[in-house]
């Protein structure tokens, strides 16, 4: 049996989404920026897709910018705001659990003279609001905090953060890459200024993302070129992927409650069985509000990479942390920020359940996981000492 439990890394393309994209690869292939018939046909499809996404988010179509990924959307928002508002100030605040797309972008801006402050999280991976308030300075121009963490699924208090940012006249960017399609997000009503997302996290195609930019927010250019996407993201419009992203988002939102209930039941069953059948385990962020399908589990006294490889040999796909940094053997900065000891952080596996998973797959995973943990602990000198 093959079991895919790495849906936070990417999801399988929905069949209906694939079908919606096909005509724009072969039949309606014109450049959406061209004025002729072929261009007008694809241009209309792009406009309709933008309107669909805007409707889901309850924003204006012109406030949606298409990008090549969620990381690019984060870069455009953060670098663009930094460049546009640098005369007002050069201080940026982020949380200590941000995705590398945000974390490394902010670190890179330090080379351009910006100052960065990281706000800590509690043991459940939730941002400390008082620490945030105390970190604000007169020259703070941007606060950037993810909506839901990609490793633990912990949902951040973005409504409260937005109130703090707005009260202090600071722009607020939200990385909603992991939560889009899983939780309802209305950026304008919350008070968010920019918000990033990407299609492949909600059963859409890879290679396409989006950025909401509230009207009135200035964003400096990160890429120079033609006039596409309000001159903020020049390059030939990727019509099929844009159409696919809109189709995927509308579909997942129309079925969000049903899918969320099904997925959360599978996750809760999985976690309860792990706790029953395997000693010395910790469910990370268990006391926080989490995304329905995310389960970050620390198996004490074992290396996570060993668990991952043994599960892979059984046809089960999981992650030892963020897929974007899975080639590195360093402990997760997210778990370390939560106070998880480094030796235990190395023994953490992320199981992320999606809409295509079944109870049969979960039971297969549980049976193999119990066997693998028992085997690896017998081989571990750390387990003997315990």
Phi and psi for 283 in degrees, rounded to 5? Answer: -90, 110
> CA 98 to CA 307: how far, in whole Å?
25
Identify the bridge partners of residue 281 per DSSP, sorted by sequence position. Answer: 299
Closest CA to 45 of 198, 248, 238, 225: 238
Sign of the torsion formed by the C-alpha atoms of 17, 289, 170 and 324: negative
Three-class DSSP category at 272: helix
Task: Name the DSSP letter for residue 198.
Answer: E
Quick one: 234 exposed, middle or buried, by C-beta within 10 A (0-12, 13-18, 19+)?
middle
Q: What is the helix (H) or strand (E) element at residue 175, kind and residue range? A: strand 171-175
Q: Is 324 tagged catalytic?
A: yes
Q: How far is CA 158 from CA 86, 128, 303, in A?
A: 24, 12, 34
**CA-based nearest residue to 242, from 50, 26, 15, 27:** 50
Helix then strand count (H, E) for the chain reads: 15, 12
Supply the DSSP string of 314-353, one letter for each residue. TTEE-BSS-GGGTT--SPPHHHHHTT--HHHHTTEEEEE-
Query: How far is the C-alpha of 368 from the C-alpha of 310, rounded, in Å?
Result: 9
Instruction: Note whether 147 and 178 are within 8 A (CB).
Output: yes
Q: Exposed (0-12), middle (13-18) or buried (19+): which is 276, by Cβ within 10 Å?
A: exposed
End-to-end CA distance of the chain: 34
Spatial contact of 154 and 288, defined as CB atoms under 8 Å apart = yes
Catalytic residue among 84, 136, 324, 366: 324
Q: Assign 295 to helix, strand or coil.
A: strand
Kindly give, in sequence order, each residue whose CB lies less than 8 Å from that of residue 307, ignoring residues fewer than 6 positions away.
299, 318, 320, 347, 349, 369, 372, 373, 376
CA distance 229 to 78: 17
Look up tokens 């299609």; give the residue.
199
Q: Which residues are catalytic?
A: 324
């Amino acid at each position: 049996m093959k079991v895919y439990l790495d849906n936070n890394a990417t999801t399988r393309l929905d069949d209906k989404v694939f079908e919606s994209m096909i005509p724009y690869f072969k039949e309606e292939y014109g450049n959406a920026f061209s004025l002729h018939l072929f261009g007008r046909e694809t241009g209309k499809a792009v406009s309709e897709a933008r309107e669909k996404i805007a409707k889901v988010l309850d924003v204006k179509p012109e406030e949606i910018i298409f990008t090549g990924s969620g990381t690019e959307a984060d870069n455009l928002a953060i670098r663009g705001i930094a460049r546009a508002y640098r005369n007002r100030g050069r201080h940026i605040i982020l949380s200590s659990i941000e995705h590398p797309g945000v974390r490394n972008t902010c670190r890179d801006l330090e080379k351009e003279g910006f100052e960065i402050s990281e706000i800590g999280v509690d043991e459940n991976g939730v941002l400390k609001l008082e620490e945030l308030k105390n970190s604000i300075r007169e020259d703070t121009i941007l606060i950037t905090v993810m909506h839901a963490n990609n490793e633990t699924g912990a949902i951040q208090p973005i409504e409260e953060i937005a109130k703090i940012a707005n009260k202090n006249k600071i722009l607020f960017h939200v990385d909603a890459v992991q939560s889009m399609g899983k939780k309802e997000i209305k950026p304008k009503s919350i008070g968010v200024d920019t918000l990033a997302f990407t299609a492949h996290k909600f059963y859409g195609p890879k290679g396409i993302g989006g950025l909401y930019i509230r009207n009135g927010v200035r964003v400096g250019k990160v890429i120079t070129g033609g006039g596409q996407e309000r001159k903020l993201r020049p390059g030939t419009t990727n019509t099929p992927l844009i159409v696919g992203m809109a189709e995927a988002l509308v579909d997942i939102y129309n079925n969000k409650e049903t899918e969320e209930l099904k997925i959360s039941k599978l996750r809760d069953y999985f976690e309860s069985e792990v706790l029953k059948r395997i000693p010395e385990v910790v469910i990370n962020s268990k006391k926080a509000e989490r995304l329905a399908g995310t389960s970050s589990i620390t198996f004490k006294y074992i290396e996570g990479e060993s668990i991952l490889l043994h599960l892979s040999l059984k046809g089960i796909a999981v992650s030892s942390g963020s897929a974007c940094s899975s080639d590195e053997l360093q402990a997760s900065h997210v778990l370390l920020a939560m106070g998880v000891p480094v030796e235990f952080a190395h023994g953490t596996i992320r199981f992320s359940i999606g809409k295509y998973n079944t109870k049969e797959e979960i039971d297969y995973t549980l049976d193999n996981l119990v066997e693998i943990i028992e085997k690896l602990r017998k081989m571990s000198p750390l387990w003997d000492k315990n």
